Structure 1
Amino acid sequence: MTNDNSELDEREQAVVEKIDEEGIDFLRLQFTDILGTVKNVSVPASQAEKAFREGIYFDGSSIDGFVRIQESDMRLKPDSETFSVLPWRTREGETGGAARLICDVINTSTGEPFEGDPRYVLKQALDRAEEMGYTVNAAPEPEFFLFEEDENGRATTKTNDAGGYFDLAPKDLASDVRRDIIYGLEDMGFEIEASHHEVAEGQHEINFEYDDALTTADNVGTFRTVVRAIAAQHDLHATFMPKPIPRINGSGMHAHFSLFTEDGTNAFHDADDEFNLSEEAKQFTAGVLEHAKALAAVTNPTVNSYKRLVPGYEAPVYVAWSDRNRSALIRKPAARVPAASRIEARFPDPSCNPYLAFAVLIHAGLDGIERGLDCDEPVRENIYEFDEQKRQEYGIETLPSNLGEALDALAEDDVVTDALGEHVAEKFVEAKRSEFDDYRVDVSDWELDRYLETF
């Protein structure tokens, strides 16, 4: 179903004019598969009006987790709000530039949004929040590593610096890379809050301003693309793999959330509460904690994710919340003004599909509000130092120890599977079960080094 005769709306017309003004030659129409990989089709800029009016057709059966061959016709519908010029294309001195538009996926047989589109899954979560009288703001803190490339341009695990947390040059040799990444992000409309070297050698973090949850999820995909592209210009490989180097800190993507009411009031703030958190904020927190084990399958979706989620490397594995320390799964950060009151989920990692991860976290939190869940008292001690007996006394559980356990928890949690929708839940679990089974039957170098000559 197309809308060939429809007129462009004001925003779409403005994009078409911007394309002409900027001398854009090509448009990259982007969308995301179920596993979180950004896909794109490039079209001449002259096709912009057609893309807005009719969409661009593609074969959905070729995309992981989408549809079967007999249901393959899909249509990309560009979201005019996501138009942005790709800065590195222009800086390379090419004739003409390129821009991107993030798209929604439409089922051509019905003309309705495709239920397997991760962006649609997040929109459904935001619709639920809106029905409850809320809008959702989110802000991520994605971490990444920068590695040197070998003589063939392939990624190594050799870091290009020996810096640590908040270090400066000469230990932090990537400050120029971060600077160029920030320039690129700002060119694409990001408001950067801060950047710094993280704890591990070669590890970095760049924080950008919060926004509504859909825009923020879009921004996470853009962020990963920009970081990789500009790192490559410096002959470096940027990776968002959670744990690329054993026995040092891995990369997380702490996610901050707050709910606002229709009149613009932060529903998470209560000036009279000891922690400046409202009942809704505590109920939202309780919902996330109750569903945490199932959430992990989506927020920490790879075999490698669980190499990060082990005690001793500052990764949150304990299902609790705190207003003071970072050893708990959820933290209440300090807030200078009421609008900044929020909660921080510290367990997601940057390998997740941001649309699905945000969707399940929001649904879990809203479930806590709808059911009026009681939130336990915060744990103000360092849980990393607790022994098993003390954790039992506090009633503190842990996240799954591997992807298989997380998928088992997901299968038993109707709230989280319903948040994904039947199509995505089925395809996601199918893909991740296959990944975990493949991992289980593989034999690692560690095993060969340890056992081959011993037994």
Structure 2
Amino acid sequence: MPYKVIGGKATQIKYSSDEVFSRIKHESIKFIDLQFTGLTGRFHHTTISADTFTPDQMEDGLPKLDGSSIVGFTDIADSDLILKPDPSTFAIIPWLTEKKTARLLCDVYWGGGRGRLESDPRGICQKAEAFVKTQGFDFSNWGPEVEFFVFDKVHWDVLTPYKGQSYSIESSESPWSQEGTGYPMGLQEGYYPSTPSDTLAPFRNECVDVLNDNFGILCDNHHHEVATAGQCEIDIKYDLMTNSADGAQSYKYVVRNVAQQFGKVATMMPKPISMDAGSGMHTNVSLWKKDENTFYDKDEVLELSQTGRYFCGGVMEHAKGLTAITNPTTNSYHRLVPGYEAPVYIAWSSSNRSATIRIPGHFKGEKYAYMKRMEYRVPDPASNPYLVFSAVLAAGLDGIKKKMEPGDPVKEDIYKMTKSERKKHGIDTLPANLGRALDELESDRKYLNPIFSNEVLDKIIDLERRDHREIAIRPHPHEFYLYFDV
């Protein structure tokens, strides 16, 4: 999935079907891994023999999917689905060396020629990408910053609920490690440490090589993040909307598999360690007309244009319901608490990381006009990037359409404000848990309808309410510490 950047525009270098079959032959590929994303964001695959793969199957798709077995797709009474490979996503999987294997991302269609499956996340993202053009823009650029943890081992016991439930995390970098490097990191002390404290530089180097060389996903930086026990970030170059969502999904796939090659385990869980920083997926976006970044205006505050301000205003207006899509797990809301650099307060600013929206201000002037963007700091890596980009886009475009002003940028540390000070500044808060986020989405969803059908939104809400109930009915281990002697 290689691409090149011309001016501000990221242009994918697409493989044709003929080029894919030529590479299969030239590279002696034995198997083709057909990969797709479910509604909840999980990656799925089925594998076929390269010897039986034909150009007609590339064109028309393969009848390889029972939709009733994929959460959020179909019910059992109507479950025949088609996987249609996208030749531009061809990549050779480097860790499958004994029987050389390549992957293709797939679009999901109904059987019987009934068109695209409405709950295919990639299809929703492609629909959003087309919607941008109907609103007077040529394209949008997206850059997700995906954080994650890499642990040595994780153990949990959840299958014996009457006995009690527990988990444990092992990491040589952690202050609780029994067999560490001798240079453990304290809680919230993991940002940019040098080796030997940072034990994961070789792992991240390997991830970057695989992403760059095999998957065509350009990485320009990697580092240890704020939390102890192996929190990492690898920065990937911005791209067009669907390409960027493909890249985020492929990124998570590569990180997990390379971790396994290193004898470790990677997780996109937003908050696996209490009292420490969680993992986010800060999402950067800009809207373009031809070669002009419409978010840039040298004469405006923070050099953010009126179009950009309205976009921010729309995201702020819909922020509460958006969290059900950008933060779709019960664990997500353990991250969204004050004091850990995670955004809680609905506001916008420049270098202020206590606000939900940041307008990065590292450089100024027309030379860097292409870099002017909105960074939405709320999403986390447990989310489905196809849905996140689509929903944030819908909110921002609604703001542009209705000319929603975001108010003045907030310069003060919002975490240190009193409740009355926040009220004076008109600063509201995000939902405190998944249940409240879903309530907000149910009452504020009309702006999503140009991209999301009500049926798909109903599925998202039902699936997440199920998870919310799963946690609500179970006692937490820490409750025994707090209440056992009441």
TM-score, normalisation: structure 2? 0.88
Match in the other structure for 1:255: 283
Kindly report which structure 2 residues correspond to 1:26-425, keeping only aligned pairs within 5 A, or say none: 26-46=31-51, 47-57=53-63, 58-90=65-97, 94=98, 96-134=99-137, 135-149=139-153, 156-161=168-173, 162-163=184-185, 164-187=190-213, 188-201=215-228, 202-261=230-289, 263-334=290-361, 336=363, 337-415=368-446, 417-418=448-449, 419-425=451-457
| 1:24 to partner: Cα distance | 1.1
From the superposition, tell whether residues 61 and 150 of structure 1 become closer, same or farther in structure 2 (CA, over 3 Å).
Answer: closer
From the superposition, tell whether residues 132 and 357 of structure 1 become closer, same or farther in structure 2 (CA, over 3 Å).
Answer: same
| 1:151 to partner: Cα distance | 9.8
Q: Which amino acid aligns with 2:124?
A: V
Distance (whole Å) between structure 2 residues aligned to residue 197 and residue 246 of structure 1? 18
1:217-239 CA-to-partner distances (Å, cap 9, x unmatched) read: 00111000100100111111100
Aligned length: 439
Match in the other structure for 2:163: none
From the superposition, tell whether residues 449 and 48 of structure 1 become closer, same or farther in structure 2 (CA, over 3 Å).
Answer: farther
| 1:421 to partner: Cα distance | 1.5
Q: Is the 8 A contact 1:32 1:117 kept in 2?
A: yes
SS in structure 2 of the partner of residue 87 of structure 1: coil
Kindly report which structure 2 residues correspond to 1:419-438, keeping only aligned pairs within 5 A, or say none: 419-438=451-470
Structure number having the greater helix percentage: 1
Distance (whole Å) between structure 2 residues aligned to residue 447 and residue 23 of structure 1? 57
Residue among 21, 25, 32 paired with 2:26: 21
From the superposition, tell whether residues 330 and 302 of structure 1 become closer, same or farther in structure 2 (CA, over 3 Å).
Answer: same
In structure 1, stretches of 5+ residues that fail to align are 1-8
Distance (whole Å) between structure 2 residues aligned to residue 10 and residue 172 of structure 1? 38
1:411-436 CA-to-partner distances (Å, cap 9, x unmatched) read: 00123552432222111111111110
Q: Which amino acid aligns with 1:158?
A: E
Match in the other structure for 2:164: none
Q: Is the 8 A contact 2:394 2:448 kept in 1?
A: no
| 1:10 to partner: Cα distance | 7.7
| 1:338 to partner: Cα distance | 0.7
From the superposition, tell whether residues 150 and 280 of structure 1 become closer, same or farther in structure 2 (CA, over 3 Å).
Answer: closer
SS in structure 2 of the partner of residue 99 of structure 1: strand
1:366-408 CA-to-partner distances (Å, cap 9, x unmatched) read: 0011111122110011111111111111110000000000000
Q: Which amino acid aligns with 2:150?
A: L
Q: Is the 8 A contact 1:316 1:346 kept in 2?
A: yes
Q: Is the 8 A contact 2:15 2:88 kept in 1?
A: no
Distance (whole Å) between structure 2 residues aligned to residue 417 and residue 403 of structure 1? 19
Q: Is the 8 A contact 1:299 1:349 kept in 2?
A: yes
| 1:212 to partner: Cα distance | 0.3
Q: Which amino acid aligns with 1:220?
A: A
| 1:184 to partner: Cα distance | 1.1
Q: Is the 8 A contact 2:145 2:233 kept in 1?
A: yes
After TM superposition, what 4+ stretches of structure 1 lie above 6 angstroms from structure 2?
Answer: none
| 1:324 to partner: Cα distance | 2.5
Distance (whole Å) between structure 2 residues aligned to residue 78 and residue 84 of structure 1? 12
Distance (whole Å) between structure 1 residues aligned to residue 155 and residue 223 of structure 2? 28
Q: Is the 8 A contact 1:165 1:199 kept in 2?
A: yes
Distance (whole Å) between structure 2 residues aligned to residue 299 and residue 256 of structure 1? 13
Distance (whole Å) between structure 2 residues aligned to residue 401 and residue 150 of structure 1? 27
Q: Which amino acid aligns with 1:141?
A: E
Stretch moving more, 382-391 or 47-56: 47-56
Q: Is the 8 A contact 2:210 2:254 kept in 1?
A: yes
Distance (whole Å) between structure 2 residues aligned to residue 244 and residue 51 of structure 1? 42
Q: Is the 8 A contact 1:146 1:160 kept in 2?
A: no
| 1:138 to partner: Cα distance | 0.2
TM-score, normalisation: structure 1? 0.94
Distance (whole Å) between structure 1 residues aligned to residue 46 and residue 54 of structure 2? 13
Residue among 423, 442, 454 paired with 2:474: 442
Aligned Cα root-mean-square deviation (Å):
1.6
Match in the other structure for 1:6: none
